[in-house]
Chain A
Amino acid sequence: MIFKNAELVLKDKLVRADITVENGKIAAIGNAGGGEAVDCTGLTIFPGLIDMHVHLREPGFERKEDILSGSRAAVKGGFTQICCMPNTNPVIDNKVVVSYIKARAKEAGLCKVHPIGAITKGQKGEELAAIGGMKAAGAVALSEDGKSVADTNLMAKAMLYASDFGLKCLCHCEDRFLAEGAVVNEGYNATVTGLKGSLRAAEDVMIARELLLAESLGLPVHICHVSTYSGVQLIREAKARGVKVTAETCPHYFTLTDDAIKTYDTNTKVNPPLREEKDRLAVIEGLKDGTLDCIVTDHAPHHEDDKRVEYDLAAFGISGLETSFALSYTMLVKTGVLTLPQLARKMSFNPASVLGLEGGELKVGAPADLTIADLGKKWKVDPNEFVSKGKNTPFGGREVQGQVIYTVVDGGIKYSLARGNRA
C-alpha cells in the first residue's frame, strides 16, 4: 500500500513524498512506483498520534464508554495508540485486568491500547499494587489517576519499586486537603458562581513533592495534566537543574479559562479545574519552550445522567479524543506557537519516548501508524456526532481547523472520514 503525494511531518522538517507500507511497517519514504495507492494530495501525514492519558471506563462503567467505543473515538480523533487509566471497576491493579483490557482491545481491532496500572491496590493509597505482574501482562506505566498517593513514604517506595520494572509513575497532582470539596478553580469566577474553588497550590504542592521525590531518588517522573502557571514554572526549574521529569497538558487547559464555568455548564467541570488566563498562557509557553512534553486528552467520557445535575454533583471530565487534534492544531500551530514537527512531537514522539512505546516517528522500519489530516478543513464541533459514548464536551459549536481523514494502524486503514470506522 502506498500513501501518495502527501506532506510528511518528519522529526525536524516537512517533506513531500510517498510512504510505502509493507507488512505493517513503513518500507520506504520517497518516490514510490506503482501499486495499490491512496491519493493523499493536499493531505498531511503525521506519525500516528499517541494519547497517553485516556479513560476507557471498561470494565465497570460501560454505560459511559467501553473499549470498543473508546477505540472508535480514538481512531476518529487520529490516535493510533492510547493508554488507559486504571480507575475502572475493578481497578487495574493486577495482571488479570491488564490482560482483560488487552484482549478486549484486540477484539475491537482498531488502535493499540496500553493499560496503565494503579500504583496502589484498589487505588486506596495503602499497599503497592501488583506492579511486576501488571508489567508482565503489558502495563506500560503506573498512575494513581484522579488522586495523589497521599502517603509520601509510600509514593517514594512506589517510584523505587516501579523502577525495578522499568515503569514510570504518571502523577495526578492534588493535595486532598486543599482540594476538599472543590469543583472549580479558586478565584473570581468561583466567587460569583458560589462554587467551591481550590487554590493552584492544591496542584502545585503535589507537583513539587513528586519533583523532589524524583530528584532525591534520582528517578524519572511524569506529571499529568498540568494546569497552573506555577506548576509549569516548578517543572521548568526542575528540568533546568537536571530532574528527570516529563509533563503533559490537555487541550482544555490551553483553550479555555474558568470564565467558561459562569454558565454552570457541567461540561466545564474537570479535574484539575479550568484556571485563569495567566495559567492558559503559561501552559502555551510551557509547550513552546519544551517544559511540557506531551499533549494528552484526559478523555473522560460520561453519561448524560452524570452531567445533567447540579454542578457540585456532576462528574469531572471532558470527552476529548475527537477534538484534541483539531484544537491543538487550531490553538497552537495556526497561531504560530508550534511548528508541525513540534506538534507531532507533543502528540506522538514524546509520549512514545516517555513510555518506551514503538512508533512516534515517520521512518523506515517503524510500524505503519499514520494520522492523515486535511489541515485546511474547517469544521464545527458537534457532540452528537461523537462516536464516543461520552458527549460531554465544552467545545460544542466551536469552529476548529484540521480534520483527520484517515487513521492507519500497522498499515491498515482503521478510520476514514468518508467511510467511518473500519475494523
Chain B
Amino acid sequence: MDRKDLLGLYDLAPEEIGEILDLGLTFKAALKRGEKEHSILKGKSAVILFYENSTRTHTSFELAAKFLGASVVNISVATSSVQKGETLVDTGKTLDAMKNDFIVIRHPMGGAPKLLAETVKAHVVNGGDGMHEHPTQALLDMLTLKEHFGRIEGLKIAILGDVRHSRVAKSNLYGLTKLGAEVRLFAPKTLMPDGLEREGAIVCSSREEAVEGADAVMGLRIQLERQKAGNFPSLVEYAKYYGVDENILHYAKKGAIVLHPGPVNRGVELTSEVIDGETSRIEDQVLSGLAVRMAALSLLNGEGKV
C-alpha cells in the first residue's frame, strides 16, 4: 500500500483493502499463538490522539503500535475543548515538530483526520471521525468475515440500526462492496441517510428483507440521546422493531454470524441471548481489531512482511 494516510475506505482500492486483510490474517494467527513482539515499528513513535472517549478502539490501537515495537503516547482531549482549545492544525504542527511518525486520531467531526493529514508529515490513521468513516472498524469486521467464511466476495451482509450517524456502517458498506459482498441496510427512516444506494447499498424496508438469507447480521450501536432528538419513541420500541433478536435471525442463512462494533447496549440493538449466543463473533472481532490495526500501521510504514 503506497499512501501516507488511512482516512477511509471510500478512497481505497480493492487491492489495498485485500492487502491489509491478508497481512491482518497473518498477524491474527501470530496473536493466537501468543506472539506479540515485532520490530516493524522499532524506533518509531505513535500518538493516539482521541477527542472522544473510547476504551476499545483506543486500547486496540495502543497495543497494536506497542506490539509492533513503537513508542506510544496517548492524548485524550475532551470533546468540549474542540471548540475552545488549541486548533487541530496547531496541535498537528506541534506533534509533527516532535518528529512523531504516526498519529491515530478520533474526532467528533467528519473530515478532521483529513485536515490533520494535510497539515502533518506523520502518517495519519482515522480512528473514527464524526459520521464520516471508521476504516479500521470496517477492516476488522471484514477480517472476521474473511477468516470465518474464507472469502468476502458473494457474502450477504445485513446492517441494522442507526445508519445515519454510523461511521461504521459507511466504512463497512464501502469496503464490503469493493470486495464483492452484498450489503443490505435497514434503519428507522429517521436514521437512514440519503444516497447510500449510489454506493451500492440495498436499502431495505423491513428487518426481514434485510436479514433474509444473510451470511452475517451486524447491529449498530445506538446513542441513547438519539431518542431525545425525536428519532424514535422509546428504546423499547427501537429494540422491538429495529433490534436483532433470535426470531429475526431465523431469516438468516444457516450458519450466519452476528457482529457488533461494541460496546453493546444489551437488550437494545441486540438481545442478550444473541450477544452471548453461539452465532455471536463479537469477542473475535476484538482480536481481529488488534490484528488489522497492526497490519494497517505496518503497511503505512511501508512494510508488508512480518
> Which chain A residues have a beta carbon within 8 Å of chain B's beta carbons?
186-197, 264, 305, 308-313
Contacts and interface: CB of A to CB of B under 8 A. Distances in A.
A195 B193 contact: no
Given A187-B194, A192-B10, A313-B82, 17 more contacts: A191-B193, A191-B195, A192-B170, A192-B195, A192-B199, A193-B132, A195-B110, A195-B132, A264-B115, A309-B115, A310-B82, A310-B88, A310-B107, A310-B111, A310-B112, A311-B110, A312-B130
Interface string B124-144: 000001111100000000000
Contacts of A190: 193-194
A150 B199 CA distance: 38
B110 A308 contact: no
B89 interface: yes
B28 interface: no
Contacts of B167: 194
Which residue among A194, A196, A312, A313 has the maximum number of chain B CB atoms within 10 Å of its CB? A194
A276 to B, nearest CB: 10
B114 interface: yes
Interface in B153-171: 167, 170
Contact of B111 (A186, A188, A194): A194
A188 to B, nearest CB: 3
A285 B114 CA distance: 37
A348 B17 CA distance: 56
Contacts of B195: 187-189, 191-192
A177 to B, nearest CB: 10
Contacts of A191: 170, 193-196
Nearest to A180: B229
Given A194-B131, A310-B109, A311-B109, A264 B114 contact: yes
Contact of A194 (B88, B129, B194, B196): B129
A189 B10 CA distance: 12
Given A308-B87, A308-B89, A313-B82, A188 B110 contact: no
Contacts, number: 64
Contacts of A264: 110-111, 114-115
Nearest to A199: B194
Interface in B182-199: 193-196, 198-199
Contacts of A310: 82, 88, 107, 109, 111-112, 115
Contacts of B114: 264
Contacts of A195: 110-111, 130-132
Contacts of B198: 188
Contacts of A194: 110-111, 129-133, 167, 170
Given A187-B194, A188-B194, A312 B10 contact: no
B81 interface: no
A310 B195 CA distance: 24
5 closest residue pairs by CB, A with B:
A194-B132, A188-B195, A194-B110, A194-B131, A264-B111
B164 to A, nearest CB: 8
A308 B93 CA distance: 13
Contacts of B80: none
Contacts of A311: 109-111
A186 B193 CA distance: 9
Contacts of B130: 194-195, 312
Nearest to A186: B194
14 contacts: A191-B170, A191-B193, A191-B194, A194-B130, A195-B111, A195-B132, A264-B110, A264-B114, A308-B87, A309-B89, A310-B111, A310-B112, A313-B83, A313-B109
A305 B167 CA distance: 28
Contacts of A188: 194-195, 198
Which residue among B83, B109, B114, B132 has the maximum number of chain A CB atoms within 10 Å of its CB? B109
A312 B110 contact: yes
A58 B140 CA distance: 53
A193 B194 contact: no
A312 B130 CA distance: 10
Contacts of B107: 310
Interface string B95-125: 0000000000001011110110000000000
B270 to A, nearest CB: 24
Contacts of B196: 191
B111 A193 contact: yes
Interface string B75-87: 0000000110001
A191 B110 CA distance: 10
Nearest to A264: B111
Given A186-B194, A194-B131, A194-B133, A312 B199 contact: no
A195 B194 CA distance: 12
Which residue among A192, A193, A308, A309 has the maximum number of chain B CB atoms within 10 Å of its CB? A192
A309 B170 contact: no
A260 to B, nearest CB: 14
A309 B118 CA distance: 12
Given A191-B195, A194-B130, A264-B115, A309 B87 contact: yes
Contacts of B82: 310, 313
A122 B270 CA distance: 50
A195 B107 CA distance: 13
Nearest to B111: A264
A197 B195 CA distance: 13
Contacts of B109: 310-313
A195 B10 CA distance: 15
Contacts of A308: 87, 89
Nearest to B167: A194
Nearest to A309: B87
A11 to B, nearest CB: 44
Contacts of A305: 87
A2 B242 CA distance: 76
A193 B110 contact: yes
Nearest to B198: A188
A356 B130 CA distance: 48
Which residue among B129, B170, B195 has the maximum number of chain A CB atoms within 10 Å of its CB? B195
Contacts of A312: 109-110, 130
A193 B196 CA distance: 12
Contacts of A309: 87-89, 115
Nearest to B10: A192
Nearest to A313: B83
